[in-house]
Amino acid sequence: MANSKRGRPPGSQNVKYAETREIPAACIRCGSTELKKVPGSRPLLQEYGGELPGGFRYRAIIRERRRCECGQMLIVRVYVPAVEEPAEK
Ligand SMILES: [Zn+2]
């Protein structure tokens, strides 16, 4: 049995990062966009919905720590899209 990956069991509510919208962030110190995830840091999920200027509706925001290659720490916001109900005919 493969039990190397610890995490939530299948079937539980999960966040699909592939469907989220990430706000491009650049380092405030050197301008680099090569921001790496900080090992061991836990993304903070905020159940706070809203709408972006582009019309993108979200239901939650994930705040995640990133580290630039220059050493600068930044917070990147990732928007979790609101689940759209199938449109009526
Ligand atoms: Zn930097």
CA 54 – CA 66 distance, rounded (Å): 25
Query: Whose CA is closest to 75, among 32, 31, 25, 17?
Result: 25
Say how many Å lie between the CA of residue 32 and the centre of ligand 1: 5
Say how many Å lie between the CA of residue 67 and the centre of ligand 1: 8
Q: What DSSP line would sit under 39-55, residue for residue?
A: TTPPPEEE---EE-TTS
Q: How confident is the model over 1-54, as pLDDT tens digits? A: 555 556 555 555 554 444 677 776 789 999 999 999 998 989 999 998 999 888
pTM beyond cutoff 0.85:
no
Say how many Å lie between the CA of residue 45 and the centre of ligand 1: 25
Say how many Å lie between the CA of residue 34 and the centre of ligand 1: 8
Instruction: Tell which wins on pLDDT, 65 or 2.
Output: 65
